[in-house]
Amino acid sequence: MQTLMVELDERSYPIHVGPGLIDRGDLYAPYIAGRQVMIVTNETVAALYLQRVKAQLGDYQLAETILPDGEQYKTIDCVEQIWDGLLAARFNRRATIIALGGGVIGDMAGFAAACYQRGIAFIQVPTTLLSQVDSSVGGKTGVNHPRGKNMIGAFWQPRAVIIDTATLESLPPRELSAGLAEVIKYGLIRDLEFLAWLEDNVEALRALDAQALTKAILRSCAVKAEIVAEDETEQGVRALLNLGHTFGHAIETDQGYGRWLHGEAVASGMMMAATLSARLNDLDAAALARVETLLRAAGLPVHAPEGMSSERFLELMRLDKKVLDAGLRLVLLDRLGQARVEANVDEALLVEMLNAYPRATLARQRDDSIG
Amino acid sequence: MQTLMVELDERSYPIHVGPGLIDRGDLYAPYIAGRQVMIVTNETVAALYLQRVKAQLGDYQLAETILPDGEQYKTIDCVEQIWDGLLAARFNRRATIIALGGGVIGDMAGFAAACYQRGIAFIQVPTTLLSQVDSSVGGKTGVNHPRGKNMIGAFWQPRAVIIDTATLESLPPRELSAGLAEVIKYGLIRDLEFLAWLEDNVEALRALDAQALTKAILRSCAVKAEIVAEDETEQGVRALLNLGHTFGHAIETDQGYGRWLHGEAVASGMMMAATLSARLNDLDAAALARVETLLRAAGLPVHAPEGMSSERFLELMRLDKKVLDAGLRLVLLDRLGQARVEANVDEALLVEMLNAYPRATLARQRDDSIG
């Protein structure tokens, strides 16, 4: 087991990473506030891991909320189910929520914790690569709205994050690849050395090599923690974490939640951001090719969805919350390993890039990648 | 106009108090983050003041959410209406919410602001005495749940509070009295001199004397601000602000939201806390009589609801979020002007007090008070 401390003054917390950690009751105990524990999970994850987690918590008053599996259930209605469960169990403000599952479960359980009696403790037990490297750090919680992703939410920090790398063995390969999109992002925005390591190790990661996974997860969390520590409430440098996300959110909204995985949409979005950076002469052709090669090697799409027009991209991007009242803000690359926020993107250039950017169905791109 | 600064480091904000302030556009402008303003109000207050506030905001992109009037509408459904309105207007994270109304509107609009895109600016324009002296300070926002009051919410600070004392002229006398319950509370828990001033000025306050109102509002906000500054997230001394509230919430829940006004339930609850303090020999008979005389002079109930059993009190008090996993915590009085948290109230003594405590219908108590 290796541990990374996320330093946030009185809200600092540990991220433990290693195989078999969900069976380590001693890792949960120090972070459970009172005697009441609510486990929030989904039907898929419950079948795999719920009993094992409960077996470690026999001394507590336990309750559970098992939600349906999928991004389309990341709604205020599901969060209300958690609140109803907490109140039905008569849990007080010293109760603790354990989020057992991927990012959707973590975001909803964290938001439920943030707002139950104005804030209770929660512990993250992320079981997908995406949530392990993305949701473990930053304190973002919330739900989607029919008009946009993550529109309702709060900043709320976990007391601890427990990452069991062995849970990735039950993860579909497609979701592992989606998680790798965020891992690659950390290399692209801030760490050229890590990016090069990923180019050498992407096959080992896809083959679930434990040592490679541990390094990739820890390094990803460390990069994110550095950035978040500099900017906890997302006024400045933290915006760099959104590389590919404005394009990606547009893809997800257009396609309907859950059709493209978040990581797949972000991968395609990062490729679009890199392409725009190349048009601005920040990236040369060789650098752009490295981005595409690595994304493809990770099993990720690099084209936009078939049939999604440039106009549709612009329409959806304008609603994105990273777009301020004036101008069009995007994260672009100065070079590999260094990103910047471009506050006033030239809309004509953006449209030109969007028009020229290749489209393909997701299925076709996945066939290419697997083949 | 007088101004009190609430000191909370980078989240410090002013409370402006005086007649005619809702027509002062110059007071809003410095605290509006971007160009988008959503006014949240209810049907009653909209008819009286909405056009006047809008007249001051002609330069902004305006939207409004008008909710039904009453504590029974303090629900997550109404907060969702605000979120839907913000999204329908395509407001981004630099939008500002103005809460125009009493505590119910302030709590819901504040909660909507806390969770819209993980937090946007809001300005309080409280139009009832209760909300002016209670909701202006402390950052508590949220909604009720069928199983309990204020069970869902967040801590979120306003950018500014604008209190127009002239709005109290449109307030029913019964609601003015309910607001005086919280004013009296500040004297009881922390300021004997202010309590004595209230004994001398309660008639002037009920007659809406502008000078007396301004002093009472400012002093109440100042006492609360002192306490909140010491303890922003309610771990310690802030619990004193709950004098009478554990009993009061039980009354409100038993009677159904909106039948007893919050301030009426708190008044009766403070009398119960004072009575328990007298049984513990902290208050003498003369001090207890002063509490009762002042509450009656303010037009407030001092008995529990007719037919509400001691068992029912205990059942509902155990769900109250101020009651921790172990023991029964109540705020009691050491003496007039000084309160304490009693962490392990003797349940037998509590039951004895509850059994002996007089019951009367609210209507009967109001008749007594008016007569």
CATH of the domain at B181: 1.20.1090.10
Q: Provide the shortest C-alpha distance from residue A163 to chain B (in Å).
A: 25
Question: Do the beta carbons of residue B16 and residue B26 sit within 8 Å?
Answer: no
Residue where a domain stops, chosen among B138, B170, B202: B170
Q: Mark out chain A residues that contact chain B at CB-CB < 8 A.
A: 34-36, 76, 80, 83-84, 87-88, 90, 92-94, 111, 114-119, 140, 142, 145, 147-148, 150-155, 233-234, 318-319, 321, 323-325
Same domain, A122 and A138: yes
Residue of B nearest to A75 (CA): B80
Q: Inter-chain contact A154–B115, Cβ cutoff 8 Å?
A: yes
Chain B residues whose CB is inside 8 A of the A140 CB are 118
Active site residue A262: yes
Same domain, A130 and A227: no
Over the Cα atoms of chain A, what is R_g?
20
pLDDT of residue A235: 65
Q: Is B233 exposed, middle or buried (0-12, 13-18, 19+ CB in 10 A)?
A: exposed
Q: Is B367 exposed, middle or buried (0-12, 13-18, 19+ CB in 10 A)?
A: exposed
Same domain, B321 and B356: yes
* Structural domain count, chain A: 2
**Residue B65, amino acid:** T
Q: Provide the shortest C-alpha distance from residue A145 to chain B (in Å).
A: 9
Q: Which pLDDT tens digit goes with each residue over B293-324?
A: 999 999 999 999 999 999 999 999 887 655 54
pLDDT band at A363 (very low <50, low <70, confident <90, very high): confident
Active site residue B238: yes
Residue where a domain stops, chosen among A170, A189, A217: A170
Q: Which pLDDT tens digit goes with each residue over B230-287?
A: 876 666 788 899 999 999 999 998 998 668 998 999 999 999 999 999 999 999 999 9
Q: Inter-chain contact B321–A119, Cβ cutoff 8 Å?
A: no
Chain A residues whose CB is inside 8 A of the B325 CB are 34-36, 92, 94
CA-wise closest residue to B306 among B350, B244, B365, B266 = B365
**Residue A61, amino acid:** Q
CA-wise closest residue to B117 among B82, B161, B71 = B82
Which is the catalytic residue, given B185, B215, B219, B249? B249
Same domain, A57 and A99: yes
Q: Which domain holds residue A246?
A: 173-370
Residue where a domain stops, chosen among B143, B170, B197: B170
Residue B203, helix vs strand vs coil: helix
CB atoms < 10 A from the CB of A51, how many?
9
ipTM > 0.95 for the complex: no
pLDDT of residue A371: 42
Least confident of A250-259, A302-311, B100-109: A250-259
Residue B329, helix vs strand vs coil: coil
CATH of the domain at A17: 3.40.50.1970
* Average pLDDT estimate for A180-200: 97
Same domain, B286 and B327: yes
Same domain, B123 and B193: no
Same domain, A106 and A140: yes
Residue A200, annotated as binding a ligand: no
Q: Which pLDDT tens digit goes with each residue over A78-91?
A: 999 999 999 999 99
Over the Cα atoms of chain B, what is R_g?
20
The Cα B371–Cα B368 span in angstroms is 5
Least confident of B107-111, B131-135, B187-191: B131-135
Q: Is A256 exposed, middle or buried (0-12, 13-18, 19+ CB in 10 A)?
A: exposed
Chain A residues whose CB is inside 8 A of the B153 CB are 115, 117-118
Q: Is B96 exposed, middle or buried (0-12, 13-18, 19+ CB in 10 A)?
A: buried
Same domain, A234 and A93: no
Mean pLDDT of chain B: 93
Residue A263, annotated as binding a ligand: no
Same domain, A254 and A157: no
Same domain, A201 and A157: no
Q: Which pLDDT tens digit goes with each residue over A98-154?
A: 999 999 999 999 999 999 999 999 999 999 999 999 888 989 999 999 888 899 999
Residue B11 scores a pLDDT above 70: yes
Distances (CA, A) of B257 to A107, B251, B299: 32, 9, 20
Same domain, A135 and A192: no
Same domain, A357 and A336: yes
Least confident of A89-98, A170-179, B258-267: B258-267
Q: How does B298-308 read in b/e, with b if 16+ C-beta sit within 10 Å?
A: bbbbbbbbeeb
